[in-house]
Structure 1
Amino acid sequence: MVSERGLQVLRAIVQDYVDTREPVGSKSIVDRYHFGVSAATIRNDMALLEDEDLIAAPHTSSGRVPTDKGYRVFVDHLAELRPLSPAQRAAISSFLDAPGDLDDLLMRTVRALTQLTGQVAIVQYPSFARASVTHVELVDIGGGRVIVILVTDTGRVSQRVTFLRDELPDGAVTHLRAVVSGLIVGVSVREGSQRVDAFLAEHAQDAASSSAVSAALQLARVVAEELEEFRQDRMIMAGTANLARREADFRGSIYPVLEAIEEQVTLLRLMTEMVADEHGLSASIGRENAAFGLAEASVVASDYDATSGVARVGVLGPTRMDYPTNLATVRAVARYLSRLLEEDESAC
C-alpha cells in the first residue's frame, strides 16, 4: 500500500520527468521538494512505488520514470489542472472567432489545439444521425447538371453535383425540389434515409415511364447517399507532424502510431469508448490503448455539446505528456466550442 507521501513522490517524479525527460532520482526530489525527510526515506518510498509498478528504472541509473500505471494514478488522483493563461485563452478566442460554417469551426479547433499543446489534435464531428434536415435546394445549372444541397439543424451542409440522363424541362426542378423536400425536410437524418429508401423501392420499376420520374429517382439516390454520409461518424485531425518531433518520447518506432491514426475508424472507436469523469474529461494511457494499436500513446479528451448530442475534442501524443495542461486546454477549447455551437443554434 502506497502512503500519502509516496503518492506525492510519484507526483514529483511525473512532473520532473515530463519537464526534463530525464529519470528522476531521490536526491533531485529532496533538492526540489520540501518533504522534510532524508534522501534515504525518499528512496524507500520510491522502492514501494516500484513494487506497485508505478515507476520503473529505464536502465542501471538510480533515476526512475513513471510507468503507464503511474501516469494513470497521477491523472486520476494527483493531477491538478493548470489554469490557462490570459494569452492562451486569447489564442483560443482568436482561432475560433467568426467561423464560416461547422467544417471551418472544427478545422480551426484542431489547429488551435495543436498550436497550444504541440500534440496531434482530434475533434469528433457531432453525430448527425439524430440531426434534422432543415432545407433542400436543387439548382439546375444546365446540361443535365443539378446541384443538390442539404442542410441540417446542426449546421452540416452537403453540396453535390449530379448528372441527369436528360436535361430538365422548365419548371421541373421546382417540382423535384418539392418531392425531395416532402421526403426529408423536418425529419431526422435517420428517418429521412428510411423515407428515401422506401420511395426508391416503391418506384424502382417506374424509371422508364418518364424523364421526370427518372430524374426524381436519380436525385433520390444522390440524397440517399448524402444522408448516409451524414450518418457516418467523422473526425478531423491536425498536427501529425508533431509526432516526428517527439519521436524520442516513444520507446519504439513511431510508425505503429502513425499507422493507427491513419485508421480513423479505430481512433473514433477509441474516442467513443473512453470513459469521462463528472467534468466530461477522459484519458486513455499507454497500454490501455493496445487494442487500438496505440500502446505507446495517450489520448486526453473533453466532451463538448452539440445540438445532436455530445462529441469529443482531444489530443494524442506520447505517454510522456503534460497531462494537467493538456486536460485544461481540451476542456477550455471544448467549452468554447460548445458555446459557439449554442450561439449558432440560438441565432437559427
Structure 2
Amino acid sequence: MPRNSAQSRRLDVLRAIVTQYVATREPVGSKAIAAGGLGVSSATIRNDMAVLEEAGLIYQPHTSAGRVPTDRGYRVFVDRLAELKPMSAPERHALEAFLAESVDIDDVVERSVRLLAQVTHQVALVQYPGARVRTLKHLEVVGLPPSRALVVVITADGQVGERTLTLEAPLSEEELRDAREHLRRHCDGATSANVRNCVAEAATSAAPTQAPTVEVLGAALCELLSGASDTKIVVAGAANLARGALDFRDIAPVLDALEEQVVLMRLFAEADPGDDLHVSIGAENPHDGLAEAAVVTGTYQAGAREGEGLAHLGIVGPMRMDYARTMSSVRAVAAYLSRYLAQGPRS
C-alpha cells in the first residue's frame, strides 16, 4: 500500500510539472508544486522529482533550475489522462454552425482544417476521404468537333469529374444524346460499387449500332465514378508553429516534414483504426524532423455506413502542449466531420 501511495503521488508530481510547464514554459520547482496543494512538503516533492528524473521522465535543464518533462514524461502523462477537457458550449455551437455551411467535400475539408488550427493553435492536418462510395447524381455528354466528346459526372457529394474522349467516328448530337439517355436509364443513382454492372447491362441492351458508343461513354463513367480517391492532405496553421518556435531547437526540420505528403500519410498510418485518438510524442514519430514534436490524430468517417470511407485528421505541435484540450478538440472536429459527411451535401 505505501508503495502504491508513493507511485500515485509521483504521478501527481509529474502531472503538476507537465501542467505548469505547458502553461509557463518555465522549469518547475518543488516550491511551485507544493503551493499547488498536493499536501506534502517540498522535501518530499524533491525526493519524488529525483525518482522521476532517474526514470527519465523529467530533467533539469541547468543547475539550480526546476524540472522539465522529457518526451517519455509527456507519454506517461498522456497515457494517464483521466479525462479530456470538453469544448465549451459556445465552441461546440460555433464548430457546428461553421461546418453546417459546407456545400461539398472540398468545402468541408477546408473548413475543418482551418477550424482545427484555430481552436488548437497548432498546425492542423485533414486527409481527404479514401475509398469512399460515390453515387452518381448527374451524367452529361457534350459533343466536341470534329470527333470528340466531353463526359461530365457529378456525384451526390458534390464532386465533379470530366473526361474528354476521342471517338472512332464523328457522331451527331442526336446519336450522342441517345447514347447518354440510354446510360442514364441504366445507371441513374449508380454507385462506385456497382457502376460497372450498370454499364455492362446498358451496353448489352443497346442497339448494335449504339453499343460501341455506350461502351466508350460507359468506360469514362466507370473511371470517373470509381477511380481512386484523393489521398492528399490539407494543411493549415503553419503560422501557429512559427509562433511556438521557442519550443524547438530548430523549427526547420518540422516545416520540411510538413511539406512532404508521404511523411504526413505515414503519420496517419501509425494510428490504430480501432482508436478514435492516437498520440505520438518526440522520438515515437516516424520522421526525424518531428523528433521534437507531438502529433495528435483522430479518425473520421466519410460515409453513412459504419466503417465506410475512413480517413484521418490531426495536429502537429511542440511536445509542450495542452494535451487534454488538444485531444478533445481533435475528437470533436472528427465527430462533427463524420456527422456532416454522413448527412450528405446540404442545399
TM-score category (smaller protein): 0.7 to 0.9
How far the C-alpha of 1:34 sits from its partner, in A, is: 1.0
Q: 1:320 & 1:90 partners in 2: Cα distance?
A: 28
Q: Corresponding residue for 1:319?
A: 319
Amino acid of the residue matched to residue 239 of structure 1? G
Preserved CA contact (<8 Å) 1:119 1:243: yes
**Alpha-carbon shift at residue 26 of structure 1 (Å):** 1.0
Secondary structure at the residue paired with 1:313? strand
1:1-348 to 2 correspondence within 5 Å?
3-31=7-35, 33-78=36-81, 80-128=83-131, 131-135=133-137, 137-140=139-142, 142-143=144-145, 144=148, 146-151=150-155, 155=157, 157-160=159-162, 162=164, 164=166, 168-177=171-180, 189=192, 217=216, 220=219, 224=223, 227-230=226-229, 232-251=230-249, 253-275=250-272, 280-291=276-287, 293-307=289-303, 308-344=308-344
Instruction: Note the C-alpha offset of 1:225.
Output: 6.8
Q: In structure 1, what is the Cα distance between the partners aligned to 2:222 and 2:292?
A: 42
> Structure 1 residue 171: deviation in Å?
2.4
> 1:241 is matched by which residue type in structure 2?
A
**Aligned partner of 1:160: which letter?**
E
Q: 1:218, 1:277 → 2: CA distance?
A: 40
The one-letter code matched in structure 1 to 2:244 is R
The answer as to whether partners of 1:286 and 1:295 remain within 8 angstroms in 2 is: yes
Q: How far is the alpha carbon of 1:212 from its aligned partner?
A: 9.6
Secondary structure class of the residue paired with 2:130: coil
Give 1:190 deviation, angstroms: 6.7
Is the Cα–Cα contact under 8 Å of residues 193 and 224 in structure 1 kept in the other structure? no
Residues 77 and 123 of structure 1, relative CA distance in 2, 3 Å threshold: same
* Residues 218, 57 of structure 1: alpha-carbon distance in 2 compared, 3 angstrom cutoff: farther
CA distance in 1, matches of 2:171, 2:247: 61
TM superposition score normalised by structure 1: 0.81
Letter in 2 for 1:245: R
Contact 1:113 1:329 in 2 (8 A): yes
Following superposition, the deviation at residue 128 of structure 1 comes to 2.3
Q: Deviations over 1:207-259 (max 9, x none)?
A: xxx999589648846863774342x53332211222111111113x2222122
Indicate the RMSD between aligned Cα atoms, in angstroms: 3.4
Change (3 A) 1:195 1:147: closer
Aligned length: 330
Q: Secondary structure at the match of 2:51?
A: helix
Q: Could you tell me which residue of structure 1 aligns to residue 205 of structure 2? A: none
C-alpha deviation, 1:61, in angstroms: 3.8
2: CA distance, partners of 1:174 / 1:193 = 21
CA distance in 2, matches of 1:36, 1:12: 13
CA distance, structure 2, for counterparts of residue 277 and residue 30 of structure 1: 40
User: 1:67 and 1:43 mapped to 2: Cα distance?
Assistant: 17
Offset at residue 274 of structure 1 (A): 1.4
Maintained 8 Å contact 1:133/1:184 = no
Residues 188/291 of structure 1: CA separation in 2 closer, same or farther (3 Å cut) = farther
- Which amino acid in 2 is paired with 1:94? A
Give the C-alpha shift of residue 76 in structure 1.
Answer: 1.0
- The code of the aligned residue for 1:275 comes to D
Structure 1 residues without counterparts, runs of 5 or longer: 199-209
Other structure's SS at 2:87 match: coil
Instruction: State the identity %.
Output: 44
1:125 shift after superposition: 2.2
Q: Which amino acid aligns with 1:111?
A: R
